[in-house]
Structure 1
Amino acid sequence: MKICAPFAGIVHYFVAEGDPVTTGEQIGTVEAVKLEAPILAPGPGVVASVAFDDFSNVTGGDELLSLEEK
């Protein structure tokens, strides 16, 4: 499962590779001009990869991380 940025901004992760996540768990945020959008896990799984370093600039649609389904 690929998780993408909703818009351009700065990404902050709350998880790392190998971490288990549950449906609806907040796994990060994307912030732009004091607007902060939560990034939620769409389903249960394990974080397979993180595409950017914490606090990196991203554009809308960039893949932020991928989850392996449980």
Structure 2
Amino acid sequence: MAAREVFEGLPGWVKWVAIPALVLLVFGGAILTAIGTLIGLLFKLLVLVALVGGLIYVVRRFKSSSSSGGSSKGW
């Protein structure tokens, strides 16, 4: 018996409302945990990109200001 045959005789509200509601009731916590983890990782990735970009900006700015000073000692 295939899954299509099981759902074939059911009304539309059972297929599209009741079953998804039961899935959310049972797995809702796990789904929210997964979404929260994904959002947390994306936020950390955004912070990392901003910090690396800021570091590159500061280093380039420091190098350009120190090289125009006449002495090219570097760091």
Q: TM-score, normalised by structure 1?
A: 0.16
Higher alpha-carbon Rg: 2
Larger RCO (alpha carbons 8 Å, 6+ apart)? 1
Q: TM-score, normalised by structure 2?
A: 0.15
Bigger share in helix: 2
